[in-house]
Amino acid sequence: MDQFTINIIFVGGSFMLYVAIAIWARAGTTSEFYAAGRGVNPVVNGAATAADWMSAASFISMAGLIAFVGYDNSTFLMGWTGGYVLLALLLAPYLRKFGRYTVPEFIGDRFYSQTARMVAVISLLVMSITYVIGQMAGAGVAFSRFLEVDATTGLIIAAAVVFAYAVLGGMKGITYTQLAQYCVLITAYTIPAVFISLQLTNNPIPPLGLFSTHVESGMPLLAKLDEIVQELGFRDYTSNHGSMLNMTLFTISLMIGTAGLPHVIIRFFTVPKVSDARWSAGWALVFIALLYLTAPAVGAMARLNIMTTIYPDGTDSQPISYEERPDWMRTWEQTGLLAFEDKNNDGLIQYYNDASPEFAAIAAERGWEGNEMVRFNNDILVLANPEIAQLPGWVIGLIAAGGLAAALSTAAGLLLAISSAVSHDLIKSTINPNISEKGELLAARISMAGAIVVATYLGANPPGFAAQVVALAFGLAASSLFPAIMMGIFSKKMNTAGAVTGMLVGLGSTLLYIFTYLGWFFIPGTNMLENVPANWLFGISPLSFGAVGAALNFIAAYVVMNMTKEPPEEIQELVESIRVPRGAGSAQSH
Amino acid sequence: MSDKSSSNAYWQANLRIIKICMVIWALVSLGFGILLRPLISGIPVGGTDLGFWFAQQGSILVFIALIFFYATYMNRLDREHGVDEQ
């Protein structure tokens, strides 16, 4: 059986499973559509949250990001997991006790203000729509690589599948498909990692393999990697090369950004009890950690593998010739994500850091005229892993299904956050408060369908700023929603004026800082300052500014709160009531 | 950021345990993983140092432990103060 047929079987099989779940888990009420009837087991919700959270970026890109940068990109590992501690301790149990359906609804009710609710709706829509574009585009790429259809056709197939389970099942359908998607993606990620770890270190557990001995050289794996990359003029893998302040702020931005993402928060509305919300955050992190502990091992091992593939007899000897390159390189060259150029016409592949002045003399002495692996896209690393480790064809099919599961599960979660904001926060609360339960459910389904159409269109025609959007989403979540929700719970005296000012200051300062360096609305050429570390305020990169925006939000809110009237008695009682678990019960009808 | 009026014992106990957990949370990630790494660089772990291990594995393991500890602790606290869900 050829690889194409195997890929079709795996991807097609997983899609049929998702659609079958959708038919089984149809939503009949708004409570089921928005919050899966609040009947989801906390462990199941943990796995669904993990799939919801781990996007194409986690599955496909993260190992590559770590592999080619090393220690400095540990920020992604700490940032994207540390947010769950904030969720479990500061947000999830209280929001579950509050017992409503959307994040803007909490902000609107707690700050007794339609304005506050609308500011929250706008932040939610901007961050979720930008985020979903990346997921749809990622699904399109996975389709075109593995199923040999063009990206747009792939995208439409993916959209049709999401349509089936998200529109029919709402949160209920999404939850159980995400559970299935988690199983698919974690299996796909782990199997090649286990084999690579076994090959390099004899240890079947990749996170342990990362810190054990490299069998071939007898040295610790990371020491071997440091040695080999430095011999070729690259920066060593395990030391710190960037600014510590910037690293710290970037990590904090990712942490609070994670805790403030609405599509993650609403997952905690689906569990039956307040105590379940706490447990569920823990289970979510366990399931996420299975991938996040494996990713740095995959990164380091794959980087070492590539080095030793190109220099089989050590870096002092000749590299392999272009004609004898392994098959996986041939396959990926066809996608354009990997490219070689024989600069000195010797038929061999010289791979080294030609930007290093220290290495220039050695390169000149050897007759090297520049790095000849001219392109190696980070995303290849995970997708080509089974081929690099020479695993059978079915593992490649599994990786294809896993990548799509990661992209689709996140897309579905985001689409639900978008559609519930439209149907519940805009239509039900603002345009037509007298809408019936049936009417609202229909409105929710239509909003979901609309959101899918918009996301598919934008995924097929991504705006120029697609690469920047994830940073924007995290910056916005960190600087606007997280502080507002946290103050709503932990400060009884926080009032409308304080919360609204805080959100606007956090949002405004973060957008301003990002646009200053990346261009107004990401239009190239409109940036006021060149995006280089020398221009950054105190060396803080635009991607790390969310933490500063959040701090400004807190400060502005407190200053304004102290100058304005304290909230009414019933709001202060509301805060008292969400602080204790007793009386959570099921969804309130309103 | 507690308010003077919410002085009930349950909430104060909750804030106390949250603060302790947050200090550990920051210490293992921002501390050992980044800012304090130079201080613990003398402790070798599998070809590199302890700070690198905290940055890529240790912090995540501690995060998991913190959440499960907090959930267990709060379940007990809920019962002791009679505010648990029946």
Work out the number of other CB atoms within 10 angstroms of the CB of residue A188: 28
Helices and strands: H and E segment counts in chain B? 3, 2
Q: Cα–Cα–Cα angle for A319, A322, A325, nearest 5°?
A: 85
Whole-complex ipTM: 0.92
Contact criterion met (CB < 8 Å) for B83 and A580:
yes
Q: How confident is the model at residue B4 (pLDDT cuts 50, 70, 90)?
A: very low
Q: What is the pLDDT of residues B28-78, one digit of tens each?
A: 999 999 999 888 888 888 888 999 999 999 999 999 999 999 999 999 998
The answer on pLDDT for A281 being more than 90 is yes
Residue B70 has its nearest CB partner, among A71, A89, A238, at: A89
The answer on pLDDT for A590 being more than 70 is no
How is chain A split among helix, strand and coil, in percent rounded to 5?
75, 0, 25
What confidence score (pLDDT) does residue A588 get?
A: 42
Min Cα–Cα distance to chain A from B48, Å? 7
Provide, as residue numbers in chain A, all residues whose Cβ is less than 8 Å from the Cβ of B53: 211
CA dihedral of B25, B30, B31, B33, whole degrees rounded to 10: 110
The pair of structure tokens assigned to B39 is 């201080």
Provide, as residue numbers in chain A, all residues whose Cβ is less than 8 Å from the Cβ of B45: 211
Contact criterion met (CB < 8 Å) for B46 and A210:
yes
Concatenate the DSSP letters of all residues of A350-403 into one string.
----TT-HHHHHHHHHHT--S-S--EE-TTHHHHHHHHHTT--HHHHHHHHHHH
Q: Cα–Cα–Cα angle for A259, A262, A264, nearest 5°?
A: 60
**A-proximal residues of B, 27-56, CB under 8 Å:** 29-30, 33-35, 37, 45-49, 52-53, 55-56
Min Cα–Cα distance to chain B from A89, Å? 7
The closest alpha carbon to A193, from A489, A46, A395, belongs to: A395
- Mean pLDDT (chain A) is 86
Q: Which helix (H) or strand (E) holds A420?
A: helix A393-420
d(CA A398, CA A231): 36
Arithmetic mean of pLDDT, A253-259: 93
Contact criterion met (CB < 8 Å) for B47 and A584:
no
Arithmetic mean of pLDDT, A339-360: 86
Work out the number of other CB atoms within 10 angstroms of the CB of residue A456: 24
Arithmetic mean of pLDDT, A89-109: 91
Q: What percent of chain A has pLDDT over 70?
A: 97
Q: Which residues pair with A213 in a beta bridge?
A: A220
Q: CB within 8 A of B46, min separation 6: which ones?
A: A210, A211, A212, A220, A221, A222, B53
What confidence score (pLDDT) does residue A21 get?
A: 87
Identity (one letter) of the amino acid at A151?
A: A
The closest alpha carbon to A413, from A112, A122, A49, A8, belongs to: A49
Contact criterion met (CB < 8 Å) for B66 and A85:
yes
Residue A293 has its nearest CB partner, among B3, B48, B57, at: B57
Arithmetic mean of pLDDT, A394-415: 88
DSSP letter for A588, please. P
What confidence score (pLDDT) does residue A462 get?
A: 67
What confidence score (pLDDT) does residue A151 get?
A: 72
Contact criterion met (CB < 8 Å) for A492 and B85:
no
d(CA A222, CA B46): 7
SS3 at position A107: helix
Q: What is the pLDDT of residues A143-188, one digit of tens each?
A: 777 777 777 887 888 888 888 888 888 888 888 889 999 999 999 9
The answer on pLDDT for A464 being more than 90 is no
What confidence score (pLDDT) does residue A465 get?
A: 53
Interface probe for A, chosen from B29, B35, B61, B84 (most Cβ of A below 10 Å), is B29
Contact criterion met (CB < 8 Å) for A282 and B22:
no
Q: Which residues pair with A338 in a beta bridge?
A: A376
Q: What is the pLDDT of residues A313-329, one digit of tens each?
A: 888 888 888 888 888 88
What angle in degrees, to the nearest 10, is found between the helix axes of A42-53 and A274-292?
50
Question: Chain B residue with minimal CA distance to A276?
Answer: B71
Q: What is the pLDDT of residues A364-390, one digit of tens each?
A: 888 888 888 888 887 788 888 888 878
Q: In sequence order, which ranges of A147-218 are alpha helices (DSSP H)?
A: 151-201, 206-209
Name the residue with tokens 């869900």: B85
Concatenate the DSSP letters of all residues of A455-506 into one string.
HHHHHHS--TTGGGHHHHHHHHIIIIIHHHHHHHHH-TT--HHHHHHHHHHH
Q: Is any Cβ of chain B less than 8 angstroms from the Cβ of A293?
A: yes
The pair of structure tokens assigned to A378 is 């980070």
- Of residues A586 and A508, the one with the higher pLDDT is A508
What confidence score (pLDDT) does residue A375 get?
A: 84
The pair of structure tokens assigned to A325 is 């390159």
Q: How confident is the model at residue B1 (pLDDT cuts 50, 70, 90)?
A: very low
DSSP letter for A338, please. E
The answer on pLDDT for A466 being more than 70 is no
The answer on pLDDT for A257 being more than 90 is yes
Q: Which helix (H) or strand (E) holds A67?
A: helix A62-67
Contact criterion met (CB < 8 Å) for A85 and B63:
yes
What confidence score (pLDDT) does residue A282 get?
A: 95
d(CA B57, CA A394): 30
The answer on pLDDT for A300 being more than 70 is yes
Half-sphere exposure (Cβ direction) of A518: Cα atoms closer than 13 Å: 20
CB A346 within 8 A of CB A367: yes
Contact criterion met (CB < 8 Å) for B59 and A252:
no
d(CA A266, CA A269): 5
Contact criterion met (CB < 8 Å) for B52 and A238:
yes
What confidence score (pLDDT) does residue A170 get?
A: 84
The closest alpha carbon to A271, from A255, A256, A284, A286, belongs to: A284
Work out the number of other CB atoms within 10 angstroms of the CB of residue B39: 12
Arithmetic mean of pLDDT, A448-474: 75
Arithmetic mean of pLDDT, A330-355: 85
The answer on pLDDT for A440 being more than 80 is yes
Q: What is the pLDDT of residues A72-98, one digit of tens each?
A: 999 999 999 999 999 999 999 999 998
Min Cα–Cα distance to chain B from A231, Å? 17
**B-proximal residues of A, 547-586, CB under 8 Å:** 572, 575-576, 579-584
d(CA A276, CA A223): 43
What confidence score (pLDDT) does residue A467 get?
A: 52
Min Cα–Cα distance to chain A from B23, Å? 12
Arithmetic mean of pLDDT, A252-264: 93
Min Cα–Cα distance to chain B from A350, Å? 27
Print the SS3 string covering A220-260. Answer: EHHHHHHHHHHHCCCCCCCCCCCCHHHHHHHHHHHHHHHHH
Q: How confident is the model at residue B24 (pLDDT cuts 50, 70, 90)?
A: very high
Interface probe for B, chosen from A85, A238, A241 (most Cβ of B below 10 Å), is A85
Contact criterion met (CB < 8 Å) for A282 and B18:
no
Q: What is the pLDDT of residues A495-540, one digit of tens each?
A: 999 999 999 999 999 988 888 887 777 666 777 777 777 777 787 8
